Structure 1
Amino acid sequence: MIRLERAGLPPDTAEHLGTYTRQIEKTADSGRKAKAAELWSHTTVRRRVRGGLLATLADMAPGHQRCMYCGDSQGTDIDHFEPKSLAPTRTFEWLNHLLACAYCNSNQKRDAFPRSEEDGSPLLVDPTLEDPLDHLRLVLPLCTYKALTPQGEACIDVFGLNSRGVLVDGRRTAYETAKQSIELWRIAADRKQHDKAAKVVEVAWDRPLADVLAGMFHQSGHPAAELLFSGEEENLGLLRDQELRQAFLSRA
């Protein structure tokens, strides 16, 4: 997971979302769940809102429309961050929509929405509101996640971030590829090949599992960076190169 900026919706899509939200709010509390489900599955309603939602979410998503949760597979589903079965009045709320792959949406998350036992606040991280790096640390080079907070622990559990072998293996590959990318950028920059250097940055962020690259830059500034990158001093030196950091992080 990486930090994302929420974009504005097309005016007609936003208008339709507001109309359907008001219809649900006018329904008696006991019938709101059914009303929300009925509207969301209605052919006309989906035709009016789905295109605008998917297009905007795709523009916000990492890489080429990657899932906002696992960062690996292509995002195909409009996920309700707080499930519509639990919060029917938020079914058509733009701030409650994220782009997810079918596996994260239907196999992993489903209607799961853990809350803190202390204050009832959500434990899952919405990457458009919080920086996942505040809650999750990628253990390099194992490429598994360590929870820094209860929210991070919940994300690891709900999305299977460490239990899905394909994700862990994919991150290991992404880690090696990311190291090659920063080396290629330094070579191109030293040779004054500015267009080539810019392309290296673009491709690096567009690859699946861009959270690995984000985690590398984040951890290179950690007080214990020398320990975290033990045996990879050259890699750490590149990640701390201010010119290189500017080039990559301005694109993130």
Structure 2
Amino acid sequence: MIKLELGDEPHELVAARQENWPAAVLLFNQHGVDHKEFRELLETGYQVAKPVLFQRQYEKCAFCERSEDAEFRPVEHFRPKKGAQDKVDARWVTTSGHYWWLAWTWSNLYFSCQSCNMAGKKGNKFPIEPGTARAQTPTRPIVGPVTPEFFDCSMERRLLLDPRLDDPLDHLQWIPVDRQLPKAKWRWTLEGLDSLGDMTIEVLDLDRRVDFVNRRLKGLQNLWEEVDLFIADDQLVNARRCWDKLLAQYIDDPYQEFRNAGWWAVDTLCPKDMRDRYGLRHPQIPVVTLPKAT
């Protein structure tokens, strides 16, 4: 997972919200959140954001960084639209009502792979810190527009990384399993650096991507071997050229998978003091920014 800067919402989503919101309020006022017709309406309209999310996320899942085909992949609600599940005494318990009013909210939507979206992974799971309160829910009947505080969840003590707001490198780290092996044979594993990282790994089951990541990092390690050999032979020009190739391929290219893991691997294989010593440029923090217009 890396930080995502996804820009302004597309006008198609604005239109979908304007179309569906009045009907949602009417059904909510009449029947509440558990009515079949109301819950069916919550599945309508927000999918128009998928082409824009797919493009701006460089065709990758927002959570696990796997490249995906957009056709059969979902738009994921970061805060679930049909009741949030919290972890209580090692069990997942549903809190009814959260967060239906965010069903058509741009900041709550991501392009996701099927694995991260499915019920056995994230699904409706949205844990918060024990003893803290969820964002306030609108109460029946809604009269007039829903006031802005319902859309501001910044005070909520969530335990799930939000790629728009958090830098995952501060919370998730890839580390070698056995540093006693030669660097070319290192295998990597994912660990949380705090409770936010630990819960994100658990909820999204990010460990399932470990084999994919290690296959990806094998190519990075092979290039690093070349850099290391050039350094040993005092061929620093060639070392820097090969190093730049490594960074361009595994860190800088926004379409590449698992840039979070690539950054940690580069920083571990060749730490800052070593880069300074041999004049190797420092890897950029991987961030997704808006694709350039063509």
Q: Common fold, TM-score beyond 0.5?
A: yes
Deviations 1:200-232 (A, max 9, x none): 468854222222123346xx3xxxxxxxx3xx4
Matches within 5 A, 1:97-116: 97-106=109-118, 107-116=120-129
Does residue 10 of the first structure (1) align with residue 23 of the second (2)?
no
TM-score by length of 2: 0.63
Does residue 129 of the first structure (1) align with residue 165 of the second (2)?
yes
The counterpart of 1:95, out of the listed 107, 117, 141, is 107
Residue identity matched to 2:258? L
Structure 1 residues 9, 216: closer, same or farther in 2, change over 3 A? Answer: same
Shift of 1:80: 0.7
Does residue 237 of the first structure (1) align with residue 279 of the second (2)?
no
The counterpart of 1:39, out of the listed 32, 38, 41, is 41
Answer yes or no: is the 8 Å Cα contact 2:6–2:56 preserved in 1. yes
Aligned equivalent of 1:72: 66
Q: CA RMSD in A?
A: 3.6
Percent identity (aligned): 21
Residue identity matched to 2:102? R
Structure 1 residues 32, 133: closer, same or farther in 2, change over 3 A? Answer: same
Shift of 1:10: 2.3
Look at both structures and tell me which one has the larger radius of gyration over its CA atoms: 2
Structure 2: 5+ residue stretches without partners? 84-98, 134-156, 177-185, 228-236, 289-294
Answer yes or no: is the 8 Å Cα contact 2:159–2:195 preserved in 1. yes
Aligned residues between the structures: 225
Matches within 5 A, 1:1-252: 1-26=1-26, 27-28=28-29, 31-32=32-33, 34=35, 36-42=38-44, 45=45, 49-51=46-48, 53-61=49-57, 64-74=58-68, 76-86=73-83, 87-106=99-118, 107-120=120-133, 121-140=157-176, 141-162=186-207, 164=208, 167-180=209-222, 187=238, 190=241, 200=249, 204-216=253-265, 220=267, 229=268, 232-233=269-270, 237-238=274-275, 244-245=281-282, 248-249=284-285
Shift of 1:197: 8.7
C-alpha separation between the residues in 2 aligned to 1:201 and 1:160? Answer: 23
Answer yes or no: is the 8 Å Cα contact 1:36–1:84 preserved in 2. no
Shift of 1:73: 4.7
C-alpha separation between the residues in 1 aligned to 2:65 and 2:265? Answer: 15
C-alpha separation between the residues in 1 aligned to 2:216 and 2:247? Answer: 19
Shift of 1:138: 1.5
C-alpha separation between the residues in 2 aligned to 1:239 and 1:100? Answer: 38
Shift of 1:157: 0.7
Answer yes or no: is the 8 Å Cα contact 2:252–2:286 preserved in 1. no
Aligned equivalent of 1:226: none
SS at match of 1:206: coil
Structure 1 residues 59, 138: closer, same or farther in 2, change over 3 A? Answer: same
SS at match of 1:82: coil
Bigger Cα displacement from structure 2, 132-141 vs 182-191: 182-191
Structure 1: 5+ residue stretches without partners? 221-228
Shift of 1:119: 2.2
Q: Which has the higher contact order (CA 8 A, sep 6+)?
A: 2
TM-score by length of 1: 0.72
Shift of 1:6: 2.3
Answer yes or no: is the 8 Å Cα contact 1:182–1:238 preserved in 2. no
Shift of 1:190: 4.2
Bigger Cα displacement from structure 2, 137-146 vs 32-41: 32-41
